[in-house]
Amino acid sequence: MKLQYFGDSYDIVKKSLLLWLSDFGPWAAHPMFTHEVTDSEADAFSTFLGVPLVSTEVLSAKTNRSAYLAACGDCRSVFLDPDTGVRLRSENGKSVSEFVFGEEVVDIAGLRPKGLVLTFDKSLARGSEETQIGRKLAHFAKRGLYGFAYVSHVSFMAIGLSQPIVSAARAELLRRSALPPNRIVDTPPNTALHPSPLERS
């Protein structure tokens, strides 16, 4: 998260999603700041989102990432706000601080059997957002996690261990937001979150 962009359209979506999914909290946010912020700046961002921040520490290429993300603590649900998004394979380099990695999401979600992990992700090529986010959801599904994504000019994934909780969160998001269902991509296969009539009977 870079506070120079605070208040842009991405932030409006972040705030809206946290509001629509508020019943699946309490929520906290790890802003994954990549620059120093003052207490007043952090407080303003927290107030805007409507959830507490678990850390205001700066993420850099030299950061001990395990310790850094451990700040998520034991809150039921957590919002991760990397600069760019979710990269499935971890790597080194200058851009490492711009991402949360796939195994980190798996670890954080694994500590929250009754909660969700919501992640900001704009690391998708324009025109193939749905395909790429579907691949990420498939990656998490292979690791025992359910999920869905809101797909637009910027996308967000909601990941969780519990199929009923993730399914309920998806339904609640659609109900409260009145978004068209085609904006939501589900864990493949689609029936993972929506059993067939035969399975429901």
Question: Side chain identity at 105, as an amino acid letter?
Answer: V
Alpha carbon of 57 to those of 51, 97, 177, 180: distances in Å? 17, 12, 32, 37
Location of structure tokens 């992640």: 119
Show contacts of 93-100: CB within 8 Å, 24+ apart. Answer: 93/61, 94/61, 96/61, 97/32, 97/34, 97/59, 97/60, 97/61, 97/63, 98/34, 99/123, 100/32, 100/69
Predicted local confidence at residue 113, as pLDDT: 96
Count of alpha carbons within 13 Å of 5, Cβ hemisphere only?
16
CA–CA separation, 115 and 112 (whole Å) = 5
Mean pLDDT for the chain overall = 89
Among residues 95, 79, 32, 85, the alpha carbon closest in space to that of 58 is found at: 32
Interval 33-68: pLDDT, tens: 999 999 999 999 999 999 999 999 999 999 999 999
Structure tokens at 116: 């969700």
pLDDT in tens, 181-195: 999 998 865 445 554
Residue 3: exposure state from Cβ atoms within 10 A (0-12, 13-18, ≥19): middle
Q: Do the Cβ atoms of 160 and 166 come closer than 8 Å? A: yes
Is residue 120 predicted with pLDDT exceeding 80?
Answer: yes
